Amino acid sequence: MDGKNFWLNDLLRITIPVMKTNTSVAFFDRQFQQQVRDQDFTLNPFELVALPHLTGRVLDFGCGLGNLAIAAAQRGCSVLAMDASRSAISHLRQRALVEALPIEAVEADLRNHEIGEHFDCVISIGLLMFFDCPTASHVLSMLQAQVRPGGIAIINVLVEGTTYLDMFQPGHYCLFARDEMASRFADWDIIHSEFRDFDAPDQRIKSFVTLIARKPERQKA
């Protein structure tokens, strides 16, 4: 939690008036520009949990600055990394070029973006909570469908019990039910499941679930 680049810390600096005039993407875009100026590219705690599980063809959906995409590519993965932040995608493209890494970085609004490919690993860390709940649910289904049989999904979201909501615009966020990930991945092999709470201002909390699950080789009838 001490790393300057860790968005859990940075989210705490958002004020409600700022959020009324800017979207979350605009906020992150500014934050990423600052991180590039600071040369601050350390992995956050959720990315550190995810990294050892990444192999083969990887989709990082909501990649932010792409630190995990870079680390995965350095370990031999080929990565499709997507985010709506222009600064982040531009920076990631540049880094991938300089280091000659197999990363395709795509700028897109991921609320309604279909993917026409299957992956060994699909990751989405800290993204779906910025969508309204029907959209978040639909996108989660789409991500599950893009994992090849035997591949893995890594999903991290805020869950109910989160009392710090200042980073959200009303009606444009989703707190998943605490048991929702477990039920959505009921047919999968659960590799890792963890709830983590982080303190926020005024004695409020942010409560995250991180789930890593392997898709069965054959779907049950």
Ligand X SMILES: C[S@@+](CC[C@H](N)C(=O)[O-])C[C@H]1O[C@@H](n2cnc3c(N)ncnc32)[C@H](O)[C@@H]1O
Among 64, 119, 147, 152, the residue binding ligand X under the rule CB under 6 A is 64
- The residue range among 43-51, 147-155, 176-184, 189-197 that interacts with ligand X, by the rule CB under 6 A, is 43-51
Nearer to ligand X, 42 or 189 (CB): 42
Stretch that binds ligand X, among 59-67, 170-178, 200-208, 210-218 (CB under 6 A): 59-67
Give the Cα separation of 158 and 125 in Å (integer): 10
Q: Does 154 bind ligand X (CB under 6 A)?
A: no
What's the sign of the alpha-carbon dihedral 53, 54, 56, 58?
Answer: positive
Q: Are the C-beta atoms of 157 and 128 separated by less than 8 Å?
A: yes
Cα separation, 42 vs 95, in Å, equals 14
Scanning residues 75 to 114, which ones bind ligand X (CB under 6 A)?
A: 83-85, 88, 109-111
Task: Report residue 93 as tokens.
Answer: 């493209």
Pairing assessment for the beta strands 147-158 and 204-214 based on DSSP bridges? antiparallel
Residue 53 touches ligand X, criterion: CB under 6 A: no
Contact set with ligand X (CB under 6 A): 7, 24-25, 28, 44, 46-47, 62-64, 83-85, 88, 109-111, 125-127, 130
